[in-house]
């Protein structure tokens, strides 16, 4: 009995369009099409995209001609259950499309599109003759000649149709790779190694080799070097792999000498695959021994997991939360489970990797955006084809990996705003999404923080989450002493040296003289936030955005941090023609310069977006500071996030005013979190540290809570404020943004849309208002705030918002050219 093969497939495209699209499955492709596999489909007149099959069926759509699937890229699914279900939850909750989630979730190397840029991997070698088809070889040759090409260029130049399938195969075998915007060189997947052509126990054969090279001294040196590097004669040790590079270096020989030895039949050269995510081989150690208090917290977490799917670990800075995490990870791995360990910043993965690799070895995998796309594809495929226990450490994008046996999710520094994706969609919160992902796998979630998010702490207090506290620092070290410096008073007394108060300089100098280290925190990168003419007041602003340009001294340029527009710093004011240009304000780059004058000769490092664009830059900065190659670390919020440096005794917060004065209902929470977290970097090893906070408003309540390290008092104060004005956790906020190139059109469309929303949501609608930056990349912006009850269905809200906007488009065609998007639970 013949079973009819499905003739149609519903596919998901990586585009911001609602729903799936139907394509016909040709007879030759029917055996290869399975739910979850990748297929190439035409969309529009000329575009070709990689789509994911979400359903197959026999129901032919009526009323239009169904296009055919061009090619099947996989004979197997590239997503696992419950990934598509998880994508659907993100799309529903965060009010975006499934296509936008798919585009964010899958690495670019798995989405071959007609606009993808590719380039040749120079280290690729055919494993055997005939591995490449004539078509593949032509594409490879053309790409090599051009250096970096788009797929549609290949089609135009070669005349081949549908080259995406061949490009996908070339990607799979490592012949090409997707070009990256990240400044990063892809490491080859193989390395060239050398081995002897005889068995280890063949002593007679070895003597014969020495006889053959007796008169060829360089080849003899190669043979001796190989025996040494490979431990060949040390029978108690296994034979070690010897790379070609190491052998030639040890023997001080050339490649030609090695080639001659290979021709004699002494050596053979081979390629060895490299696991890009493998860590240095070393003897593994047990997780660190827990103190009595850590053991109590560890036991309470296990007890909490029996009653709660989610548990909050509220542990002060330097209380040893990471040690507890390690024991919980080890427990999960022993049970054959996979673990996801989320951190907010890539810098944290760098430092944690060194600690975790000592305990978990090759079971540790790292995943974040600074890896090249090819490397991200490698780890995706590793998890796709293996259900072995492992621990993945990564930033928010790690939630999209194809886990098969997830048992534990740890969200470290769960309060951190970096877990929230801003642009583009999906604008998801990695912490909240990770909790949903864990529930879909039946896994437990542990949230850890010294300053828990208000919403999370309230759920723990209400009993919705388990709650465990760790309120003493490791080895009972005292929390750092906090000194508040009134900068207004200091200015009047002439006690300020630039941005540094004399008290701060004195404490820093004392620490440096004692061979201790200093962290200085300023949450603004660049040299200065603006320049101006002191004669006429002219300030250079971005031509595309409503912001002033930031000065970067090392390039002598003025740059917009929103769109990247850059101009050179003028010598004369273009408005009045006078040489009155002056630098106003302080960024991390200027502070680095000024420190060099205050503490001449001291080694300084800086950690901000400008110094960490490369994958290895985090590791270099952190390693140099840990090894005392630098003693002063200047940074933005990157330095506040869980980094652990034993020798730091002084932390300086150079300007607290910029944090506590921001016009947003979360500004107090963000300010407290940042100051308490950066304060926690001080005095972590054997002595109490000290924190100096410079502010012109020392009486602000948040400053007092930080001085006393009193999270509970801060929480009580903040919760009362939120309840009074109806903000989360008592409501759910949805920010609605509308953008348009014409400010007048935008105003009319936004007002009309908000009035239509009020007819349904009444007093829950606020606005429209222009945000702080009212124009970005030549698009004017209006913001409407929707305050919803917690029990409101996001699916129903999403449908109402979309339906009302469609009604608006029907009434006012100008709304069709506007851009509308939603930001649920903004941070």
Q: How far apart are CA 436 and CA 425, in angstroms?
A: 18
Dihedral sign (CA 607, 609, 611, 614): positive
Per-residue model confidence (pLDDT) at position 545? 93
Pairing mode, strands 604-607 and 632-635? parallel
Across 193-213, average pLDDT: 90
Does the pLDDT value for residue 663 go beyond 90? no
Across 349-376, average pLDDT: 80
Task: Give residues with Cβ within 8 angstroms of 626, minimum separation 6.
Answer: 645
- b vs e for 226-255, b when ≥16 Cβ sit within 10 Å of the residue's Cβ? beebbebeeeeeeeeebebebbbebbebee
pLDDT band at 3 (very low <50, low <70, confident <90, very high): low
Q: How far apart are CA 162 and CA 48, in angstroms?
A: 8
**Beta bridge mates, 521:** 635, 653
Does the pLDDT value for residue 134 go beyond 70? yes
Helix (H) or strand (E) holding 798: helix 794-811
Q: How far apart are CA 98 and CA 14, in angstroms?
A: 8
Say whether 411 sits in a helix, a strand or coil.
Answer: strand
Q: How far apart are CA 784 and CA 782, in angstroms?
A: 7
Q: How far apart are CA 148 and CA 143, in angstroms?
A: 6
pLDDT band at 185 (very low <50, low <70, confident <90, very high): very low
| DSSP 8-state secondary structure symbol assigned to residue 803 | H
pTM for the model: 0.79
Does the pLDDT value for residue 539 go beyond 80? yes
Where is mean pLDDT largest: 184-193, 420-429, 657-666?
Answer: 420-429
Per-residue model confidence (pLDDT) at position 180? 36
Q: How far apart are CA 688 and CA 358, in angstroms?
A: 28
Q: How far apart are CA 61 and CA 13, in angstroms?
A: 18
Helix (H) or strand (E) holding 576: none
Alpha helices in 467-546 (DSSP H): 487-492, 502-513
pLDDT band at 1 (very low <50, low <70, confident <90, very high): very low
Contact, 438 vs 409, CB < 8 A?
yes
pLDDT band at 355 (very low <50, low <70, confident <90, very high): confident
Does the pLDDT value for residue 823 go beyond 90? yes
Contact, 268 vs 197, CB < 8 A?
yes
pLDDT band at 184 (very low <50, low <70, confident <90, very high): very low
Contact, 520 vs 654, CB < 8 A?
yes
Say whether 385 sits in a helix, a strand or coil.
Answer: coil
Per-residue model confidence (pLDDT) at position 267? 93
Per-residue model confidence (pLDDT) at position 122? 74
Per-residue model confidence (pLDDT) at position 186? 30
CA distances from 661 to 193, 317, 488, 658 (A): 60, 25, 16, 6
Task: Give residues with Cβ within 8 angstroms of 546, minimum separation 6.
Answer: 773, 774, 775, 776
Contact, 808 vs 752, CB < 8 A?
yes
Per-residue model confidence (pLDDT) at position 684? 60
Per-residue model confidence (pLDDT) at position 327? 96
pLDDT band at 303 (very low <50, low <70, confident <90, very high): very high
Extended strands (E) in 479-602: 481-486, 496-497, 500-501, 517-521, 530-533, 550-552, 557-559, 566-568, 581-584
Across 525-544, average pLDDT: 88
Give backbone dihedrals phi and psi of 543, rounded to 5 degrees, phi first. Answer: -75, -15
Task: Give residues with Cβ within 8 angstroms of 225, minimum separation 6.
Answer: 247, 250, 251, 253
Tens digit of pLDDT for each residue in 309-347? Answer: 999 999 988 888 999 999 999 999 999 999 999 998 876
Where is mean pLDDT largest: 274-278, 330-334, 813-817?
Answer: 330-334
| Residue that is written with structure tokens 């300007």 in the block | 655
Tens digit of pLDDT for each residue in 730-764? Answer: 999 999 999 999 999 999 999 999 999 999 999 99
Q: How far apart are CA 300 and CA 298, in angstroms?
A: 5
Task: Give residues with Cβ within 8 angstroms of 424, minimum separation 6.
Answer: 100, 104
3-17, 410-424, 631-645: range with lowest mean pLDDT: 631-645
Tens digit of pLDDT for each residue in 8-67? Answer: 999 999 998 888 999 999 988 888 899 999 998 888 876 788 899 999 999 888 888 899
Per-residue model confidence (pLDDT) at position 6? 79
Does the pLDDT value for residue 158 go beyond 80? no
Does the pLDDT value for residue 682 go beyond 50? yes
340-349, 570-579, 805-814: range with lowest mean pLDDT: 340-349
pLDDT band at 115 (very low <50, low <70, confident <90, very high): low
Across 758-772, average pLDDT: 93
pLDDT band at 448 (very low <50, low <70, confident <90, very high): very high
Does the pLDDT value for residue 356 go beyond 80? yes
- What percent of the chain lies above the pLDDT cut of 70? 93
Per-residue model confidence (pLDDT) at position 97? 92
CA 797 to chain centre: 30
Across 568-572, average pLDDT: 91
Per-residue model confidence (pLDDT) at position 556? 85
Q: How far apart are CA 787 and CA 150, in angstroms?
A: 45
Per-residue model confidence (pLDDT) at position 143? 83
Report the chain's mean pLDDT, rounded to a whole number: 87
**Comparing C-alpha atoms, which of 45, 84, 51 is closest to residue 70?**
51
Across 700-711, average pLDDT: 93
């Amino acid at each position: 009995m013949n079973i009819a093969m499905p003739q149609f497939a519903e596919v998901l495209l990586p585009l911001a369009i609602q729903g799936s699209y139907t394509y016909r499955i040709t007879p030759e492709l029917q055996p290869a099409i399975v739910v979850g596999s990748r297929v190439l489909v035409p969309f529009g007149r000329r575009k070709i995209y990689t789509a994911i099959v979400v359903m197959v069926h026999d129901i032919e759509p009526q009323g239009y001609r169904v296009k055919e699937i061009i090619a099947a890229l996989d004979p197997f699914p590239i997503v696992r259950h419950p990934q598509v279900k998880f994508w659907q939850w993100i799309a529903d909750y965060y009010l975006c499309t499934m296509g936008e989630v798919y585009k964010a979730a899958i690495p670019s190397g798995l989405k071959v599109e007609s606009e993808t840029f590719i380039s040749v991997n120079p280290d690729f070698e055919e494993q055997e003759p005939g591995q490449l088809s004539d078509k593949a070889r032509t594409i490879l040759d053309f790409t090599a000649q051009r250096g970096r090409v788009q797929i549609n260029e290949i089609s135009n130049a070669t005349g081949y149709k549908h080259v995406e399938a061949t490009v996908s195969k070339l990607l799979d075998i490592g012949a090409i790779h997707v070009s990256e915007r990240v400044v990063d060189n892809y490491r080859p997947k193989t390395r060239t190694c050398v081995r002897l052509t005889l068995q280890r126990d063949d002593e007679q054969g070895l003597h014969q080799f020495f006889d053959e090279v007796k008169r060829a001294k360089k080849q003899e040196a190669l043979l001796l070097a190989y025996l040494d590097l490979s431990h060949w004669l040390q029978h108690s040790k296994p034979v070690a792999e010897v790379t070609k590079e190491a052998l030639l270096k040890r023997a001080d020989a050339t490649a030609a000498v090695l080639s001659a030895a290979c021709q004699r039949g002494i050596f053979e050269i081979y390629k060895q695959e490299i696991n890009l995510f493998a860590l240095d081989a070393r003897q593994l150690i047990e997780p660190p021994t827990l103190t009595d208090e850590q053991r109590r917290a560890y036991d309470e977490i296990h007890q909490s997991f029996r009653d709660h799917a989610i548990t909050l670990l509220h542990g002060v800075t330097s209380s040893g939360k990471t040690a507890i995490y390690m024991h919980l990870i080890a427990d999960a791995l022993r049970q054959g489970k996979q673990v996801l360990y989320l951190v907010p910043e890539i810098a944290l993965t760098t430092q944690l990797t060194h600690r975790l690799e000592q305990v978990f070895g090759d079971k540790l995998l790292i995943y974040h955006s600074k890896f090249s796309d090819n490397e991200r594809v490698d780890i995706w495929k590793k998890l796709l084809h293996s259900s072995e226990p492992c621990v993945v450490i990564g930033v928010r994008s790690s939630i999209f990996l194809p886990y098969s046996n997830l048992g534990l999710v740890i969200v470290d520094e769960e309060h951190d705003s970096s877990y929230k994706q801003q642009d583009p969609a999906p604008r998801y919160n990695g912490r909240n999404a990770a909790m949903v992902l864990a529930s879909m796998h039946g896994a437990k979630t542990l949230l850890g923080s010294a300053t828990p998010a208000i919403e999370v702490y309230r759920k723990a207090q209400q009993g919705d989450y388990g709650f465990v506290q760790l309120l003493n620092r490791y080895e009972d070290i005292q929390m750092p002493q906090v000194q508040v410096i009134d900068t207004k008073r200091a200015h009047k007394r002439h006690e300020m040296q630039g941005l540094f108060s004399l008290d701060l300089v004195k404490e820093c100098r004392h620490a440096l003289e004692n061979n201790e280290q200093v962290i200085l925190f300023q949450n603004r990168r660049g040299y200065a936030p603006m320049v101006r003419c002191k004669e006429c007041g002219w300030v250079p602003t971005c031509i595309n955005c409503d912001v002033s340009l930031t000065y970067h001294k090392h390039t002598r340029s003025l740059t917009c941090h929103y769109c990247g527009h850059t101009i050179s710093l003028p010598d004369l004011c273009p408005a009045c023609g006078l040489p009155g240009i002056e630098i106003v304000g302080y960024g991390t780059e200027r502070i680095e310069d000024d420190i060099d004058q205050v503490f001449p000769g001291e080694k300084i490092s800086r950690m901000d977006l400008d110094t960490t664009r490369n994958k290895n830059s985090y590791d270099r900065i952190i390693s140099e500071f840990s090894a005392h190659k630098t003693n002063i670390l200047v940074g933005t919020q990157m330095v506040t996030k869980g980094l652990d440096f034993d020798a730091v005794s002084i932390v300086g917060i150079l300007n607290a005013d910029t944090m506590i004065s921001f016009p947003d209902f979360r500004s107090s929470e963000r300010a407290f979190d940042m100051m308490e977290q950066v304060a926690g970097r001080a005095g972590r090893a054997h002595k109490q540290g000290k924190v100096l906070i410079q502010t012109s408003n020392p009486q602000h309540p948040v400053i007092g809570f930080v001085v006393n390290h009193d999270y509970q008092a801060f929480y009580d104060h903040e919760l009362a404020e939120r309840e009074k004005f109806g903000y989360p956790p008592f409501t759910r906020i949805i920010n609605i943004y509308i953008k348009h190139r014409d400010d007048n059109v935008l105003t009319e469309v936004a007002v009309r849309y908000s009035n239509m929303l009020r007819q349904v949501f009444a007093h829950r609608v606020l606005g429209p208002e222009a945000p702080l930056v009212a124009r970005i990349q030549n698009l004017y912006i209006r913001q409407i705030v929707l305050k919803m009850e917690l029990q409101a269905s996001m699916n129903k809200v999403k449908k109402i918002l979309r339906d009302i906007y469609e009604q608006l488009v029907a009434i006012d065609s100008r709304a069709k050219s506007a851009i509308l998007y939603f930001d649920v639970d903004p941070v």
